[in-house]
A and B are shown apart, each in its own frame.
Chain A
């Protein structure tokens, strides 16, 4: 039966070959135009208010004078040279990278057990945990920082408790310090770390752990030789995510660190809004953008090329 039907189909299609194909071609092109029409508003919007402004400040970053009235614009790399030779900006960049790395570390250490617990619990419990950890992301960062104020101030909760216990006799400087910023950032981005890791934990075949147990591996051994290596893609994407978010965060460093912790975003904001150095500020923001994107790219690439990749392919 099969071949005959096939034959018949072919015959029919050969007979009316020319016309229908033309028709479908026309119809496809028409629908494509209809689709494009739907896209016009959003594309115009994104180009007009995202792509063009981003290109415009890239252009400005190559102008070395701050007189933007056109006539005496001098094009040079001066802004970028200043950035990479002035010790103030260099140390600010280093500080930003350092604090971002700390915040990655804290969120990884606190986040992994949460992700692991989620992966091992029932869908219902998992749902509750997801709601608990993801909801704070939808409450303004200012409010979350204010909560830390209450806890970390010299007369705040943590200092009070420590002093009442007699562990310290003078309040610790928790707020307006690098520690304060690390706490604020890791707290804000920890949920992203958990969600990234848990996605990769869900993908692990449960029979692998069973097989390990049958072959005599202790739970600890099976964690280190099975679960942890297989969850590495999630760890990597979580770390990259938290790192890039920490690098470019402005609100938390400015509220929890203030002038004591001049991270790059705080410095850039100052240049733009207080000193009105727009061309230099543009260069600074592009450096911030490029460091962030580059670190994501390099980290992801390095991971892809490492031996771990073979495990997942």
Chain B
């Protein structure tokens, strides 16, 4: 029994290392003083971080990524929360079908959705515009927000709303003072999750970008395709730092595992 248990633990540790290793090697490699990235790094220098500042395309792409991710998360939370409230609270016929349609963008491969949107946007003059980009990102973020807020509403005590109404609060005040504070954690984690989904996205962005409007993961992607440059290591490290911070916040509010626990494509 003990030997078996140990064997299992060793295999599990190997598996976890396999999951983490590509991320673990990137950060040290970014501090190399050589002209090529390697792990373990050769020497120590911050030259690849100062290089980021010299190459304005990365700064611009980073700024774009932040902006789009913030807006996509905002719209996904806005539409998603309203939708989830409607589904959870009201007796709408065909509720289950509506929920399936709203979460369907998750089950369609992003590549296919990207193609569909590119072809659809072109005659509408939305292809390669920031509006088109934002719409595409909002579409892929909505299913996550719907799921998280619906989960948040599943334990919701509607008597609290009734009590507030009986005490004389009008529906707007009931929503603002009772409903909203209770679903706020779900909305925040939905928003953070949407932000990260949009910030890190490559596949759908590939169809939505234009030469003068690119995001950070896209910039990394094309740099990797062209040349094996150590700057990718430093930019990637920055992405990792940002993700780690947001993951810690997300974990504190909601639990990262729970977010994916309900994610069945």
A residues contacting B by CB (< 8 A) are: 28, 31-32, 34-39, 41-43, 45-46, 49-54, 56-57, 60, 110-111, 113-114, 116-118, 120, 127, 129-151, 153, 155-157, 187, 190-192, 194-196, 199, 219-220, 223, 237, 241, 244-245, 247-248, 250-251, 254-255, 265, 268-269, 272-273, 278, 281-282, 285-286, 288-289, 292-293
- Asked if A150 contacts B39 (CB within 8 A), the reply is yes
* Cross-chain contact of A250 among B9, B111, B251, B263 (Cβ < 8 A): B111
Residue of B nearest to A264 (CB): B111
**Docked complex Cα distance between A195 and B263 (Å):** 9
Cβ–Cβ < 8 Å partners of A50 in chain B: 104-105, 108, 113, 139
Contact partner of A187 (CB less than 8 A), chosen from B18, B86, B92, B225, is: B18
* CB pairs A–B below 8 angstroms (18 shown): A34-B90, A35-B90, A39-B83, A46-B105, A49-B117, A49-B120, A50-B104, A53-B119, A54-B113, A113-B11, A130-B257, A138-B193, A138-B256, A140-B201, A143-B22, A145-B22, A191-B19, A272-B118
Contact B228 A149 (CB under 8 A): yes
- Check B265–A219 contact: CB distance below 8 A: no
Q: Within the assembled complex, what's the spacing in Å between the Cα atoms of A212 and B195?
A: 48
* Contacts known (A56-B120, A138-B246, A191-B260); A143 close to B220, Cβ less than 8 A: yes
CA–CA, A34 to B265, complex, Å?
A: 30
Docked complex Cα distance between A142 and B12 (Å): 25
Main secondary structure of the interface of B (DSSP, over half): helix
Q: Nearest residue in B to A155 (C-beta to C-beta)?
A: B38
**B29 contacts partner chain A, Cβ-Cβ < 8 Å:** yes
Residues in chain A near residue B107, CB distance under 8 A: 293
A157 to B22, CA, bound (A): 11
User: How close is A161's CB to chain B, nearest CB, in angstroms?
Assistant: 11
Which residue on A lies nearest to B79, using beta carbons?
Answer: A42
- Which B residues between 55 and 97 are near A, CB-CB below 8 angstroms? 78-80, 82-83, 85-87, 89-93
Residues 18-32 of B contacting A (Cβ, < 8 Å): 18-26, 29
B224 x A149 contact (CB < 8 A): yes
The answer to whether B33 has its CB under 8 Å from any CB of chain A is no
- Give the residues in chain B near A255, CB-CB below 8 Å: 221, 224-225
Minimum distance in angstroms from A184 CB to a CB of chain B: 9
Total B residues in contact with A, Cβ cutoff 8 Å: 95
Proximity bits, B127-139, A CB within 8 Å = 1, else 0:
0000000011011
Contacts of B265 in A (CB 8 A): 241, 244-245
Answer yes or no: B187 CB below 8 A from chain A CBs: no
Q: Which residues of chain A are near B23, meaning CB under 8 Å?
A: 136, 139, 143-144, 147
Chain A minimum-CB-distance residue to B116: A53
Q: Which residues of B contact A131 (CB under 8 A)?
A: 247, 251, 256-257
Interface set of B (CB-CB < 8 Å, partner A): 1, 4-5, 8-9, 11-12, 14-16, 18-26, 29, 37-40, 78-80, 82-83, 85-87, 89-93, 98, 101-102, 104-105, 107-113, 115-120, 135-136, 138-139, 142, 193, 196, 199-203, 206-207, 217, 220-221, 224-225, 228, 232-233, 236, 239-240, 243-244, 246-247, 250-251, 255-257, 259-261, 263-265
Q: Chain A binding site: helix, strand, loop or mixed by DSSP?
A: helix
> B27's closest neighbor in chain A, by CB?
A147
A91 to B235, CA, bound (A): 37
Measured between beta carbons, the chain A residues less than 8 angstroms from B25 are 147, 150-151, 157
- Complex Cα distance A269/B38, Å? 31
Q: Is the CB of A38 within 8 A of B82?
A: yes
Selected from A137, A146, A237, A289, the residue in CB contact (under 8 A) with B224 is A146
A114 surroundings in chain B (CB, below 8 A): 11-12, 15-16
Assuming A120-B8, A142-B221, what are 17 further A-B pairs, CB within 8 angstroms? Answer: A36-B92, A42-B83, A43-B83, A45-B135, A46-B105, A57-B115, A129-B12, A132-B16, A140-B243, A142-B236, A143-B239, A146-B236, A151-B39, A191-B260, A248-B109, A272-B115, A285-B111
